[in-house]
Chains A and B, each alone.
Chain A
Amino acid sequence: MTLNINKPLQIFVLMLSVFLLLAFIPQQAEARKGDRKAGKTQTSVNKKSNRSSNKNSNKNKNSNKNVNVNKNSNKNVNVDVDVDVDRHGNRHGNRHGRHHNDNNFATGLFVGLVVGSVVASLPPSGCTTVIQNGITYSQCGSHLYQPQYSGSSVTYIVVQ
């Protein structure tokens, strides 16, 4: 008798743990991305810039700043597992759900949005494009974002 009750329970627990395990994989991957160093692999042997070589030292200084930004993002990414799972699901369906990651900016910051901060992607659904005074915004629920290009990647400034 007890065996009959326990067996479905056992199966349920097993399924639940498998589900949780799978659900956490994208989150862990995302958290690791946040750990990325801002140090850059050089991609050319010739001078690209017209500016003086002092530029390199400035670059290094700034990249340290970026490391701090990434740390903050980890905290927030960990809060919401479903965001990552959904986002992958929406990748091809929803234009705004497209995941973009840029090492220099916070990834997946959906909880506790700070106005003026920059995020690398929008919530996976419920976003529409609105144009105000000729400027393009993405509205997701009560939040308003201004998309911009940071390098060749799109990032979003939290406006509201």
Chain B
Amino acid sequence: MSNKITSSLLLLMGLVISPVMHAEEKQELSSEKDLALKAMNNMSSYLRELDQFSIRANIYVDEVLENGQKIQQTKRLDISANPPTKLKISESDMSGDRELYYNGNEFTVYTESLGFYASFNAPKTIAGVIAKASDDYDIEIPLSDLFMWGTDNDSSTEVDEAILVGVDSVDGVSCNSFAFRQKEVDWQICIQRGTSPLPLKLVITSKLEETQPKYVAVLKWDTAPQLSEKIFSFAPQLGDQKIQFSPSQTNK
């Protein structure tokens, strides 16, 4: 008899408590998302306030073979930026090297090993150049997110879920790791702890691809570089030839 009472009491308690716990859990999750988005906002405004910066980055990107096998490619990047009108990027990988120049008026891609370059009249900002390069010329500006966070192109509003992963460290620098879910990508970022909230590592998983390939960027920052104005303008060497861009393949 008493057993019956106890068990029904327990059941009743369970029924009463479980919705309460669910509500608490939900609140905790949403506040974790808020926390993560807040950290992103904090990082974004810090990035937008930087006067100029240099980054040396290693990129590890999966290339998917037709049989589904993923091959990881390594790219090395050197970025010098004086936002919003000046950017210089050197990129090298297995297939060669290339340099991108933007001085506020003109954008140039240069392949020194071949002696070829091509230019287009550039929009007024780095963000504008990123869009034009992508839309009209199929050129991907590496690590374009760095120039998009905290602007109109920031896709933070498209984040469905976000969690705080924990405290990690990248090249010995302590950082807070967050993970986000969007419709097409899952991504993870490690933001430096302390007074300089810089992104030290970015991992993007492409969910629309069957094999879910990954893109990983590990960044080393210099937020007080001595950058000469000259480095942002392309000056051809003797024998370099100007050639044309082929029209964008993806928009025709």
Contacts and interface: CB of A to CB of B under 8 A. Distances in A.
B96 interface: yes
Nearest to B217: A43
Contacts of B154: 46
A100 B244 contact: no
Interface string B47-72: 00000000000000111111100000
Interface stretch (B19-27, B110-118, B224-232): B110-118
A49 B135 contact: yes
Contacts of A101: 94-95
Given A62-B249, A98-B96, A148-B245, A36 B131 contact: no
Size class of A's contact patch? Answer: 35 or more
B202 to A, nearest CB: 8
B65 A35 contact: yes
B139 to A, nearest CB: 5
B134 A147 contact: no
23 contacts: A35-B65, A36-B63, A36-B65, A41-B204, A43-B61, A43-B140, A43-B215, A45-B145, A45-B155, A46-B149, A46-B155, A47-B148, A48-B130, A48-B153, A55-B135, A58-B251, A98-B113, A100-B96, A100-B111, A129-B241, A131-B241, A136-B241, A151-B138
Interface of A: 32, 35-37, 39-51, 55, 58-59, 62, 66-67, 95-96, 98-104, 118, 129, 131, 136, 146-155
